[in-house]
A and B are shown apart, each in its own frame.
Chain A
């Protein structure tokens, strides 16, 4: 049996929303403490919603599929909704991840969260 679900393979082979956003409203970078890999998320926010989500990923097949899935799940959501994307939800949407690859889904959810926090910080900073 292949180690990855069909859904993971499909996202890995055709990752959505890859790239960087110029003048992004928020950037979140997360390193994987387990294997040393890295993910960077870029967001564009309009009227409290994630108008665009892009990312770059250095990591395994699961990490690439996770970032693709997170970007799809997050796009169009309000910030509040997007912050509710948990690693578990991402893994479920991918029809499961091998046990030792679960940490790769943390990477995606956390990088997105950091990007949103980065945006919120900038907003708060702007008001002062």
Chain B
């Protein structure tokens, strides 16, 4: 059976070049980079090479990169570590309603510790209005964390505009760039942010490794106490193979970005154009153009996401959904609800994450397979029959 992986928002495959770069560090170069003998040399150098590669991907200085275990850790580290380092100045932070749970739940944890936070809403397409950020900022605000793009709706946020607002107010502006770094051009100076999270598995690197970029001179409180790895900011023996892989993925991502995206944007736009043309009552979620290059997201009315996902999977197609039924917590996606979509519409959520391995054939296959699946589920949907009976005429 044809296999089509369209879930690159969840994770991307590991590039063979990246894997090859990692392998020696799972074999002969097993040494601990902190050791002063010969065994420590190669791993230590490899980490510094990776640091340069990651720094160069985002236009930063290598000494500003802190390696972590994931995007989630980077976000936790940023939100909690930055807020705690500045608690003498103030105890208020600002986040958006569509942040990843690693940011939202960090804010909640801080709240339990005596901090407070304000959640900035988004509009119908998932955009944060910088003016609303301005209004949310108080005298005692120390950290603002707004993501660069959300993996569920793909909309790119006006980070530069928000940075212009936080600037000069003694506020540290962090952006979760897990969905964008390595995928689209991300330059910390152009964005004007003070801290930025990224993760290897979102751009063809390994899982279990991420980084936090922290502008020189920004104070942060470590989450992990221990040795002096990463300049004392992140203790723990380094995940050397992972870091090497992250570095290599960053290097390749930077070099190939334009070519990769040209292809992906074409496929994406075809999906966004054709799916609603072939299936009635399909809503495109997020911004139509101002979105991640491989990202196409929809809500299909009158059907539920998990059942679509399972039928697509039976045809060899891997996608994901933000429906309540697909989530382990059985809660509808907070992102879709924040965009004002009603529960029953959010139930029909379907996310396509195109990657560098996808072809026009893959998109054709989806366009061929999905309409009958939706039709089949609608035939058994009580919401659809109600709609056909009442809704249609008036």
Contacts and interface: CB of A to CB of B under 8 A. Distances in A.
Interface stretch (B248-256, B274-282, B302-310, B357-365): B302-310
Interface of A: 12-13, 15, 18-20, 29, 34-40, 56-61, 63-64, 100, 103
Main secondary structure of the interface of B (DSSP, over half): loop
A100 B383 contact: no
Interface string B86-109: 000000000000000000000000
Contacts of B325: 35, 37, 59-60, 63
Most chain A CB within a 10 A radius of its CB, from B304, B324, B330, B382? B382
A6 B381 CA distance: 23
Interface size band for B: 20 to 34
11 contacts: A20-B385, A35-B331, A36-B332, A36-B343, A36-B347, A37-B347, A56-B380, A58-B344, A58-B384, A59-B325, A60-B304
Interface string B305-334: 011001000100000000111101111100
B379 interface: yes
Most chain A CB within a 10 A radius of its CB, from B306, B325, B344, B379? B325
Contacts of A57: 380-382
Contacts of B329: 100
Nearest to B331: A35
A50 to B, nearest CB: 19
Interface of B: 302-304, 306-307, 310, 314, 323-326, 328-332, 343-344, 347, 379-385
B343 A38 contact: no
Contacts of A15: 380
B307 A29 contact: no
A35 B385 CA distance: 20
Contacts of B324: 34-37
A58 B323 CA distance: 12
Contact of B307 (A18, A35, A61): A61
